[in-house]
Amino acid sequence: MSNPYAADPSAVRGAITPLVTPFTADGSLDLDAIGPLIDWQLDHGTHGISVGGSTGEPTSQTVAERIAVMRAAAEAIDGRVPLLPGTGTALMDETLELTAEAERLGAAAALVVTPYYGRAQQDGLFRWYSRVASEFPDLPIIVYNVPVRAAVDIAPVTVGRLRRAHENIVGIKETTRDFEHVSYVFDEAGTDFIALSGIELLCYPMLCLGGAGHLSCVGNFAPAPVAALYDAFAAGDHERARALHYDLHPLVDAAFAETNPVPAKWVMGRLGLLPSDLGREPLAPLSVVAQDRVRTLLARSSHVELPMKLRA
């Protein structure tokens, strides 16, 4: 399968929605729901699609399931926007298998998370990413730094070493609230290095530092304002971009009322975007307290309108 954005890092820009993975009520993959979700995303201005990231619950899926999701997403996108699939795991063999599939499907780049739980040293991380980059010299690789989930933080100096050692290591997704980190990454790897924000309230600030875009879980249920923030910034309308940054605050708070992606899926279910809002074990359904908090927060926003709460 080919698409015009295949292996093109220059296409990795803007608001890239980190898509939730739909499951049926019995916990099996709902591949039929992926196409309509992607169509709805693109109708509302999303610039790219990512699957297999943290919002997609990858650690609750087999490699075969993750590949099935990638294939369904690539088929639904059909070359309309770039595909940025997450292909990392804690095992090298699985990471290589997933990355090979991403390349075959025409991904713009592969998003490779730091190997989680093992808490590798910096030299271990350098060797890990060097192996992936060497195995796929024609595929752009984006490092995914998410220390809160992976229990390891790739140092800016390590990112710089990787960039100098491998032409196809082209960027980083920064899911850390340490806002100094990306500044040091730019210093080590160059200001032309692709930097994507994975922290919702740092999307606008990272653009100001030279970032290329963002992956915001809020985009799953409110893609239009998330994309509009980037569009305004790219057009030089910083006043509107800054206003949208603050306008998104209640949506961000709603998305993290409990563990991501549980609140996002709950909202999407109420909006009719998902037949089932199930998150796989060990995730639990959204609590009643959190449901009330999400409704209160969304009531402050003009971007999402939930159906009226039915009384018992």
Catalytic residue ranges: 144, 173
Q: How far apart are the first and last CA of the chain?
A: 50
Within the chain, strands assigned E span 14-18, 48-50, 110-113, 141-145, 169-174, 194-197, 213-214
* Neighbouring residues of 299: CB distance < 8 A, sequence distance ≥ 6: none
Q: With DSSP H G I counted as helix, E B as strand and the rest as coil, what are the percentages for the chain, rounded to 5?
A: 50, 10, 40
CA–CA dist 183, 121 (Å, integer): 22
Under 8 Å CB-to-CB from 205, ≥6 apart: which residues? 179, 197
